[in-house]
Amino acid sequence: MLDLVNLPRLMSVTQGNPEIAIALIDGPVNTSLANFELNTIRDISSDGSGKCDENHTTACLHGTLVAGILIGKRGSGAPAICPGCTLILRSIFSDKGSEANNVPSASAEVLALALFAAIDAGARIVNLSCGIARCCGRGESSLRSALGFAASKGVIVVAAAGNQARVGGSCITKHPWVIPVVSIDRAGRAASDCNLSASIGQRGLAAPGQDLLSVSSDGAPARFSGTSAACPLVTGAAALLWSEYPSMTAAQIKEALAGGRRQRSIVPPTMDAWGAFQTLAARANRKRTA
């Protein structure tokens, strides 16, 4: 599946740099598993919600599955895209609740506070494989301010487009700084339950999200599907690119990932991780020879 977005070639170049910190704003993660290196993980969940007390809950399963895709150990079965990067954990939903239709979610206000905290903690990239339970009024304003803060600090925000088969963006994916991610199947087609919109098509990317193998919260291999699974593939690719080209700006990393392939469609183009690497390599070479 990763071959659809040319990730294996990029992963063969680097395992990532610990100076590139990815914030996972999600559910709690079972960091005690052998699949994770504790020295690459920092938990900033101030209320203690970053721990998994009940491994079978949806929130704990979700957070651990996403973490396995991002920074699991290479060879563990999970994609383990950027095990050399630092992972900052900020849990925004408890393993004892905050679920709607088996999809962990939080309010816009809670997400906004988590974004500010993650950026203050040194995050360079933020992964949002989560939903918003409600987004209106003061909550929407707070979230817009937090996403604007990320843009002003040059922090890349990657967000799952959602799996409700709706046409129309959310208060996350509509923000011009966010990279929305759509899930594609093994044939490279957008999954039928993906949310799509003009903003998602214009600024987003598509990545595999069908039955990705990761690690469950009890340590067993587990399959993971949807835009929540596709989202960390884009996040991980951005982290690997920045690890290799740390002097590049967030805008340059985003531009390379976009690949200049934009069309008037509600379906975004498929990510080409190796093509993005080549774009940055050419830019770096021009800078050296200028």
Helices 137-152 and 108-120 pack at an angle, to 10 degrees, of 20
User: Lowest-confidence range among 26-35, 96-105, 167-176?
Assistant: 96-105
CB 25 within 8 A of CB 114: yes
Mean pLDDT of the chain: 89
pLDDT band at 264 (very low <50, low <70, confident <90, very high): confident
CB 91 within 8 A of CB 118: no
pLDDT of residue 288: 82
Average pLDDT for residues 145-173, to the nearest whole number?
A: 94
CA distance 199 to 229: 20
Asked if the 2-289 domain carries CATH number 3.40.50.2300, the reply is: no
Look at strands 103-106 and 99-100 and give their pairing. Answer: antiparallel
Tell whether the model's pLDDT for residue 141 goes beyond 70.
yes
pLDDT of residue 101: 43
Helices 227-244 and 58-71 pack at an angle, to 10 degrees, of 30
Tell whether the model's pLDDT for residue 149 goes beyond 60.
yes
At residue 83, what is the residue type?
P
pLDDT of residue 124: 98
Question: Which tens digits make up the pLDDT trace of 98-139?
Answer: 444 445 667 889 899 999 999 999 999 999 998 765 666 677
Question: Which tens digits make up the pLDDT trace of 35-90?
Answer: 998 889 999 987 656 566 666 777 778 999 999 999 999 988 889 999 999 999 99
Tell whether the model's pLDDT for residue 256 goes beyond 50.
yes
**Which token pair is 209?**
């999200």
Q: How far is residue 238 from each of residues 13, 92, 99, 168, 280, measured CA to CA in Å?
A: 14, 23, 29, 25, 11
pLDDT of residue 289: 82
CB 173 within 8 A of CB 204: yes
Per cent of the chain over pLDDT 90 is 69
| pTM for the structure as a whole | 0.94
Q: Which residue has the higher pLDDT, 79 or 261?
A: 79
The domain spans of the chain are: 2-289
At residue 60, what is the residue type?
C
